[in-house]
Copies of this chain bind each other. A is one copy, B any other.
Amino acid sequence: MGIFSETKMDALTTAKELAAQFAVDAKERDRQAGTPKKQKDLIRQSGLLKLLIPKEYGGSGESWYTVLQIVREFAKVDGSLAHLFGYHTLFIADVLMYGTKEQQKRFLTDTAENNYFWGNSCNPLDHRLFGKVEDGKIILNGPKSFSTGSTDSQYLLIAWEQKGDSPSLVRFGVIPSNREGVEIIDDWNGMGQRQTGSGTVEFHNVEVFEDEILLGDYVTGAPFTTLEATFAQSVHLNVFTGIAEGALLEAKQYTLTKSKPWYTSGYERAIDDPYIQSKYGYYVIRLKSAQALADQAAKIASDSFDKNLELTIEERGEVAVIVAAANVLTGEVAVEIANGIFELMGARSAAYQNNFDRYWRNVRTQTLHNPAEYKKRTLGNWFLDNQYPIPGGYA
């Protein structure tokens, strides 16, 4: 069903091989929750963690488009690993968006050389982590919830507020995950996306040095430096799209091999029932529309990344619009498919050991972080009043 055609085959082939390995025990790992250490190590070994890192820093210099393609590939079989990989690369992108050249060189070279995995502790809606300036350093204290990827990570992208700032300003930095005072609690326990390590990080007098603070061009307000929320959403929407595709493929497999035709249908195979065909056809259409818009958004986002500081306000607005639209659509489609496939598989598909509900639990959980309603308003306002989405934590 994929429709990416212009991507480097190597990275995609590698990703598909990884996905095949993730698939082996994805449903068991969903029950266990915790950290998919073995699978993260496989990603480390694959070299995919340096996909977006420029060649000059030892990376593959691949496009954001390719990154998203791989997010989608992983999400077909494991929403958590897709999220972890997508977010890791998002944090790399963040450094490229608003780190200094020195920071880019330092952090990304280190990451490329060692295949380091990045996590974060940046939740913009949690206002409990504060820093104070002391001897040219920042001292952080407090917790941050929803710190996706924090467990089993080597670097953390972090965000805090600083007492005394008026108005309050979110500041960003990069620290090694094992910096003294960083306590990664590993208390994430969601009904879905259970292996994303999205728990709390507690900061106990954690030092952040000056050269770890990300200022870059962010303070200049260049449109390129305000892309992070849009890029985060572009990760999400490809997780959604992949989950939708994975759910439909799993349902297909079940319908083909296990589903019985309804006893009054008059058919020998479930797939001969026109209703089964029609409903699958409907989901195919829904999926193709999600994929088409996701592809379009991926291209535009990838282009915007390549434009770097040349990106105009209008172009920044256009990418925010298309990504917001694709985010809502793919989330809706994925929830709909993950909810609906049971009707196509039949009563026995609801057995606990099948764990087919994980698709729904995953996408239902992850879609909540970017309320569709507010994206719709933003899009309506853009359409009616020519207002581009206002850059912020979620747009």
Chain A interface residues (CB < 8 Å from chain B): 3, 33, 125, 146, 189-192, 194, 248, 252, 255-256, 260, 262-265, 271, 274-282, 284-285, 288-290, 292-293, 295-296, 322, 325-326, 328-329, 335, 339, 342-343, 346-347, 349-357, 360-361, 364-365, 367-369, 371-385, 392-394
Contact = CB atoms under 8 A, between A and B. Distances in A.
A325 to B, nearest CB: 5
Contacts of A342: 364, 368
A290 to B, nearest CB: 7
Contacts of A378: 277, 281
Contact of A364 (B263, B281, B339, B371): B339
Contact of A376 (B125, B252, B277, B350): B277
Contact of A361 (B296, B325, B347, B357): B357
A373 B342 CA distance: 13
Identical copies in the complex: 4
Given A248-B383, A256-B384, A271-B384, 7 more contacts: A189-B353, A265-B374, A280-B379, A281-B379, A284-B379, A288-B326, A350-B365
Contacts of A289: 289-290, 292-293, 325, 329
Given A280-B380, A360-B360, A325 B288 contact: yes
Nearest to A264: B374
A192 B392 CA distance: 40
Nearest to A372: B343
Nearest to A124: B263
B274 A274 contact: yes
Contacts of A379: 280-281, 284-285
Given A271-B384, A288-B322, A322-B288, A277 B189 contact: no
B343 A368 contact: yes
Contacts of A255: 384
A377 B394 CA distance: 26
A352 to B, nearest CB: 4
A3 B265 CA distance: 32
Nearest to A249: B383
A377 B281 contact: yes
A292 to B, nearest CB: 4
